[in-house]
């Protein structure tokens, strides 16, 4: 896939945009931590949106995929800035936001900052606050000390070419964007897809989001055998069926 690039002052962001009917809301896909826009869910949505005739946008955050930047310098705030730039400069009219894992956190933050443009939000194993609760709080005392002293640690259990860095900067900056211990002032419809066999994001996360958002039009779809990726054919079918009511 050859992407286009959004040129910003300090980096280029790779994206792929599909046009659609001006009478239908568009779809924006926000990927996960250390993922890119060529993944199964992003590609599936590209095909289905083309068939449906609605616009579709996917992109890589700085330090991800084909975008410029050093992944280790990334933070939630920086990736939110990328999301806002892409959203404002590359979309028009109402949009349905689909956020996967970290993209679910960024999607909720986007809904808070641009409520007038959001038709609905769909979270796939949405992971707000993951830097604090699913990373920092799960570290051993020795790991925390090493992270504080050296600024970065790696998962030694992962294969050498799959060791994603965790930086102290990511953890500390992420604390400015935490959502799960406060009221989330989002009023648009919210749909959350969550696997009960997800070993990365606990199933209770979807329930906590639902309890905290202001929107009364909020539903959770639990998938009994669903993992974190939710990329199996049945999962993708459910994702599309969840989106369809908001595309008219």
Catalytic residues: 101, 198, 228
Q: How confident is the model at residue 212 (pLDDT cuts 50, 70, 90)?
A: very high
* Stretch (H or E) spanning 82: helix 76-90
Q: Maximum CA pair distance of the chain?
A: 56
| pLDDT per residue as tens digits for the range 116-158 | 999 999 999 999 999 999 999 999 999 999 999 999 999 876 6
Domains of the chain, each with CATH number or no CATH: 4-128+181-241 (3.40.50.1820)
Q: Are strands 4-7 and 12-18 parallel, antiparallel or unpaired?
A: antiparallel
Q: What is the dihedral of CA 97, 61, 233, 223, to 10 degrees?
A: -60
- CA nearest to 204, candidates 134, 140, 120, 135: 134
CA pair distance 108, 98, nearest whole angstrom: 10
CA pair distance 245, 96, nearest whole angstrom: 11
Please give the share of the chain, as a percent, with pLDDT higher than 70. Answer: 99
- pTM reported for the whole predicted model: 0.97
């Amino acid at each position: 896939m050859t992407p286009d690039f959004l040129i910003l002052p300090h980096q280029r962001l790779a994206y792929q945009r599909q046009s659609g009917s001006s009478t239908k809301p568009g779809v924006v896909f926000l990927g996960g931590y250390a993922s890119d826009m060529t993944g199964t869910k992003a590609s599936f949505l590209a095909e289905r949106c083309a068939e449906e005739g609605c616009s579709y946008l996917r992109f890589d955050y700085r330090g991800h995929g084909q975008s410029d930047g050093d992944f280790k310098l990334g933070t939630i705030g920086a990736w939110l800035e990328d999301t806002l730039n892409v959203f404002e400069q590359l979309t028009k009219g109402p949009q349905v936001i689909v956020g996967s894992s970290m993209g679910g956190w960024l999607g909720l933050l986007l809904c808070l900052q641009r409520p007038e443009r959001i038709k609905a939000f769909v979270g796939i194993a949405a992971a707000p606050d993951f830097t604090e609760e699913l990373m920092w709080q799960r570290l051993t005392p020795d790991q925390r000390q090493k992270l504080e002293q050296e600024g970065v640690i790696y998962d030694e259990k992962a294969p050498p070419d799959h060791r994603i860095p965790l930086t102290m900067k990511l953890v500390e900056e992420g604390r400015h964007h935490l959502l799960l211990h406060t009221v989330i002032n989002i009023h648009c419809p919210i749909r959350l897809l969550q696997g009960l066999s997800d070993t990365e994001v606990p199933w209770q996360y979807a329930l906590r989001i639902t309890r905290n958002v202001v929107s009364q039009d909020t539903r959770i779809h639990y998938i009994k055998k669903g993992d974190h990726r939710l990329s199996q054919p049945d999962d993708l079918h459910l994702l599309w069926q969840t989106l369809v009511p908001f595309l008219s």
